[in-house]
């Protein structure tokens, strides 16, 4: 689920089958004015009354080609599974971005709704400013909950605009299994498709040798560096990060 203001996404909320299975079954919606509870507290003699709720419209969307039926705990497999993407939004993966500074790495400034460059996909891109704060490593990761099954997909696809970090020639792209088992490939090993300033990469998941693709809990982008292996700093923009090659 995506929340938008004036058409611009400001939060992404995944449907977690373990805790939100009601959204994977047939359901109806209730619009009501709740009285009391934790938000406003218990009503009193000073509570304004009557209360009014004005509803402009209610819209319900269904994925094109979807049949509207689900099995609890088993959402339908999409051909493409979005991680950070406005086009590929059929996803059970939470948008949970962790700054490498939390692990002692260099500090990053991250915006998930940047409009500082023209996005390749949709209206915003992921802006990541890599700062030199004295650490020997740095990056960010997407937390995929307690573990996510991506074994039915074939490739990891994403796009990078590195115009503001021209010295970058390589970085680590990592999948991680629970227990901090890390499996990395090198960006320099792949030839991107270029569209303006955007370089679009397609990395076969089989290249993450040894990774358990049925239980992935981290996707990371680490260590931007020069061809000589020296850490480099500046701003990178990421867009349309998703797994592809699945099917219903």
36 domain-assigned: no
Q: Which of 21-25, 138-142, 157-161 has the lowest mean pLDDT?
A: 21-25
Please enumerate, as own/partner, the contacts of 114-118 that have beta carbons within 8 Å and a separation of 24 or more: 114/237, 116/237, 117/161, 117/163, 117/197, 117/237, 118/196
Give me the domain span that covers residue 199.
75-244
CATH number of the domain residue 216 falls in: 2.60.120.260
Q: In which residue are the tokens 């509870």 written?
A: 37
Q: For the whole prediction, is pTM greater than 0.85?
A: no
38 domain-assigned: no
* Over residues 96-120, mean pLDDT: 92
Task: Evaluate whether 93 touches 17 at the Cβ level (below 8 Å).
Answer: no
- Look at the chain and report how many structural domains it folds into: 1
81 domain-assigned: yes
188 domain-assigned: yes
pLDDT bracket for residue 48 (50, 70, 90) = confident
Of all residues in the chain, what percent carry a pLDDT higher than 70?
Answer: 77
* Over residues 139-151, mean pLDDT: 85
Question: Tell me: the pLDDT tens digits for 111-138?
Answer: 999 999 999 999 999 999 999 999 999 9
197 domain-assigned: yes
29 domain-assigned: no
* Over residues 166-186, mean pLDDT: 93
Instruction: Identify the pLDDT of residue 232.
Output: 96
Cis amide leading into 50 (omega within 30) = yes
62 domain-assigned: no
């Amino acid at each position: 689920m995506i929340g938008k203001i004036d058409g611009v996404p400001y939060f992404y909320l995944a449907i977690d089958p373990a805790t939100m299975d009601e959204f994977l079954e047939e359901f109806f919606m209730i619009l009501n004015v709740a009285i009391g509870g934790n938000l406003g507290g218990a009503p009193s003699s000073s509570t304004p009354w009557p209360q009014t709720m004005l509803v402009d419209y209610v819209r319900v969307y269904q994925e094109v080609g979807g049949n509207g039926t689900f099995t609890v705990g088993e959402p339908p497999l999409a051909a493409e599974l979005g991680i950070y993407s406005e086009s590929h939004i059929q996803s059970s993966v939470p948008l949970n971005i962790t700054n490498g500074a939390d692990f002692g790495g260099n500090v990053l400034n991250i915006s998930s709704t940047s409009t500082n460059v023209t996005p390749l996909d949709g209206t915003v891109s992921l802006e990541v400013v890599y700062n030199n704060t004295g650490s020997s490593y740095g990056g960010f990761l997407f937390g995929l909950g307690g573990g996510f099954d991506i074994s039915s997909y074939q490739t990891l696809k994403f796009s990078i605009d590195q115009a503001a970090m021209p010295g970058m020639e390589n970085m680590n792209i990592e999948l991680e299994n629970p227990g901090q088992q890390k499996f990395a490939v090198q960006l320099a090993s792949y030839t991107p498709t270029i569209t303006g300033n955007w370089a679009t990469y397609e990395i076969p998941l089989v290249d993450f040798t040894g990774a358990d693709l049925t239980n992935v809990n981290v996707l990371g982008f680490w260590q931007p560096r020069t061809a000589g292996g020296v850490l480099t700093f500046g701003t990178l923009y990421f867009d349309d990060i998703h797994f592809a090659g699945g099917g219903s």
